[in-house]
Amino acid sequence: MRLLKVATCNLNQWAMEFDSNTNQIKHSISKAKQAGAVIRLGPELEISGYGCEDHFLELDTINHSWECLKDILVGDWTDGIVCSIGMPIIKGSERYNCQVLCFNRKIIMIRPKMWLANDGNYRELRWFTAWKQRDQLDDFQLPLHVSQALDQKSVPFGYGFVKFQDTAIAAEVCEELFTPSPPHAELALNGVEVFMNASGSHHQLRKLDVRLRAFIGATHTRGGVYMYSNHQGCDGGRLYYDGCASVVVNGDVVAQGSQFSLNDVEVVVAQIDLDVVASLRGSLSSFQEQASCKVKVPSVDIPYNLCLPFDLRIRLSVPLQIKYHSPEEEIAFGPGCWLWDYLRRSGASGFLLPLSGGADSSSVAAIVGCMCQLVVKEIAKGDEQVKADAIRIGNYKDGQYPTDSREFAKRIFYTVFMGSENSSDMTRSRAKVLADEIGSWHLDVSIDGVVSALLSLFQTLTGKRPRYKVDGGSNVENLSLQNIQARIRMVLAYMLALLLPWVHNKPGFYLVLGSSNVDEGLRGYLTKYDCSSADINPIGSISKQDLRAFLRWAAIHLGYTSLADIEAAPPTAELEPIRSNYSQLDEVDMGMTYEELSVYGRLRKIFRCGPVSMFQNLCYRWGARLTPSQVAEKVKHFFKYYSINRHKMTTLTPSYHAESYSPEDNRFDLRQFLYNTRWPYQFQKIDELVRELDVKDVQESGNHETVAALSNGVGGMGVAAAGSGNPNVGI
C-alpha cells in the first residue's frame, strides 16, 4: 500500500488584502500539517485574491504577491509538505495566472494556467496570457529578493508535472477541467496520480452538481485522486465563491467541505491508498493501450517519498454521500454569507431595508435574519473571528457578545415601512409582524406629507397638479405620481441609514439594502433611482419564482411564519390608489407573468436568442395553447419593454450574482442600453414567419380562398403594423 494524506482548502480571501490573505494561507498550511497531510492545495490566485480585476495590471500586485510568497517560504511552513499556492506572475512581458508548487522552503515548479476563463463573470484574458508551450519546461529566473532569500536562482516554468519517488502529482487550474480536452486526461496517461485543481468558482443556483460531476468524471474512467480547492465568501465584488473543497478518488467523493460558511479557513483532509489508482488503471485495457503511445509531458524529479506504507493505525477515507443544498437553502445561505462578509469588511454598523411587506423586500429581510442566525451559531461553535466581528459591528461592551439572533438583529438591522395613502393595512401589518419575528428595529412612517409638498411645489411652478389614471389622469401623470413616491423612499432610506445610528448613539453608518429581483430588472419594472436603488442587493439576480419558493421554505426552516402569508399575497407595488373596482397588480402592469419573464430571460441570455429565434423557440414550447400570432405578440411586447428599460441596468444596485440569466450590466450581461425599441427588422421577420405559418395551416385545412387572401396580406399582421407607433417610445 501507498498511503497518502492530502489536504485541500476553502479560504475566504479578500482581493488586495495581502496581509490577511497570507496569514490565512499560513493558517491553512498549519492545519494541514497538524492533520498529517503531505500535500496542501489552496485556491486560485489566493495570495492576491481572485477578484483583483484591473489591479492585476499593476506591477504592485505582482510584486506584493512575490513578497508574500517569500514570507511563507522563508519560514517552516512548507517543511515536509507540498504546497500549491496561487498567485499572478510576470514572465518576460507576459502576465500569467500561476500555481506555485513549493516544498521544503523551495519552489519546485511554477505551473501557468493554459486555458483561461473568459465568459460570463470571468474576464481572465483581459489580465492574463494563456500558456501555450506544451513540449518543454522553461527556466524561470526568480526575482532577486526571492532568489537571495531562498538561495535559489531559477525554477522550471510551464506545463508539466512533478515526479516523486513513489507517485506523481500535477496542477490543473480551474477552467482547464471544463475544456473539451482537459489536461488531466493526458497527464493520467503519463502516470500522474494526484491532480490538484485550484479554483475561483462562484456560486450560482443549482450549479454545484455540474462541478462535482466534472470531478467525478475526471477520475471515474481513468483513475486518480482529484483535489479541488476554492475561495469561499465575498472577496470584494458581486460574486460569492461557494467553497466545497473536495477530494475524489476513482470517481468517488471521499471528502467534501462546506458550500456556505462564515469560517475564514476550512481545511478538508483525506487519507488515500494510491494503489487503488494503479489497480484501476491496470485493469483497463484501453487505458493501457493509450498510455503506451502517449504524448510525453515534461516533468520535474524530486528525490523524496510522499507516501507511507501499510499501517493499521491509519484509517482510509471512504466514499461519502454528496451534500447538495436545495435552491431555497442556497438563497438563504449564499446571500446571507455574502452580506456578512460585505458588512464586516465595509466598516458599516448594520443594514437598513425599506420593508414594504411584499415578497421581494420580505425575502431580503429573511436573508438578513438568516445571516444573524448563522452568526450566532458560529459563535456558539467557537469561531473567534466571527465573534470578534460581531462584537465590533454590534457595539457590544464588557465582554458581551451575540447569543440570540433576534437580539443581534435589533442591534444591526433597521426596517422601515414607508407607507402612503395607496398602501394597504395588510402590507403594513405584514411588515410589522415579519420585523418582530426577525428582531429588527422597525419604523412605520408616512410619506404622504412629502409627496404633497412636492406636488404643491410643482403646482406653484406650472399651475397644474397631476392625477392618477383612476381619477381621470393620463398615463404620463399616473407614471410620474408613482415615481415620486418611489424616489422619495430612496431619499428617505439613505437619510435614515445615516442618521438613525446617530440618534441611537451607535457608531458608523448603515448600508441600504435593495430588493428588486432579476425578472423585474429584465423587464425594467422598477423606477430608476427608487427604493430599488441601494448600496447592495442580495436578491438582484434571483427570479420571482425562486423567491416565492424561498419564502415558503423560510417560513418553516427559519421560523418566520408570517412569510407564508406574504408569499400567498398577489404581488403589487401599491403606488396607485385602491378603488372598489381597481387594485394594482404587478403582472397586469407588466403585461406578462413572472413565469413568462423567467422563460424570456433564459432564452435571451442562456440560449442567446434574439427576437426571431425566441419566437421560433416559443412556438414549439407554447404551441399547444397559443397561436403563432399570440406568441409573436408576447415576444414583441417583451422586447419592446426590455429595450425601453435597458438603460436602468446601468445604474442597477450591485447585486449578489445567483442566476445565469441575470441582466446585470456591469460585468455579466454586456449589451447596449440605447435600442430602436420598435425592432423593425426583427419584428418584420417575425411577422413574415407568422404569415407563413398561417398559410400552411390554411393549406392543410383546404381553404384555398383564405390562402389567397393571406398571401396578398389581407387579414395578416402586416409589416406596416409592426413598424408603426411612436418612434420616441424609449425616451
Enzyme catalytic residues: 44, 113, 174, 356
* Ordered strands of the 441-446 beta sheet: 441-446, 413-419, 350-354, 510-512
Task: For residue 168, give the C-alpha cell.
Answer: 506523481
Amino acid at 550: F
What SS3 class is residue 512?
strand
Q: Is 250 helix (H, G, I), strand (E, B) or coil?
A: coil
Q: Are strands 168-171 and 194-198 parallel, antiparallel or unpaired?
A: parallel
Q: Which grid cell is 132?
A: 501555450
Q: Which helix (H) or strand (E) holds 678?
A: none
What is the distance between the alpha carbons of residues 134 and 354, in angstroms, rounded to a whole number?
Answer: 56
DSSP-based three-state secondary structure for 100: strand
C-alpha cell at 7: 489536504
Which of 414, 371, 560 shows the shortest CA–CA distance to 550? 560
Q: Quote the radius of gyration of the chain (alpha carbons, Å).
A: 29
Instruction: Tell me the three cell numbers of residue 536.
Output: 447592495
Instruction: Specify whether the CB–CB gap between 550 and 332 falls below 8 A.
Output: yes
Contact yes or no for 443/496 (Cβ under 8 A): yes
Q: Would you mind telling me the total number of residues written for the chain in this entry?
A: 731
How many Cα atoms sit within 13 Å of 227 on the Cβ side? Answer: 32
How far CA 414 is from CA of 288, 345, 350, 356, 417, in Å, comes to: 65, 19, 8, 13, 10
Neighbour-count burial for 162-194, b at 16+ CB within 10 Å, e otherwise = bbbeebbbbbbbbbbbeeeebbbebbbbbbbbb
Task: Kindly report the backbone phi and psi dihedral angles of residue 413, in degrees, each rounded to the nearest multiple of 5, phi listed first.
Answer: -140, 115
User: Distance (Å, rounded) from C-alpha 144 to C-alpha 154?
Assistant: 10
* Cα–Cα distance for residue pair 611/193, rounded to 1 Å: 49
694 contacts 629 by C-beta, under 8 angstroms:
yes
Instruction: Decide if 649 contacts 522 (C-beta within 8 A).
Output: no
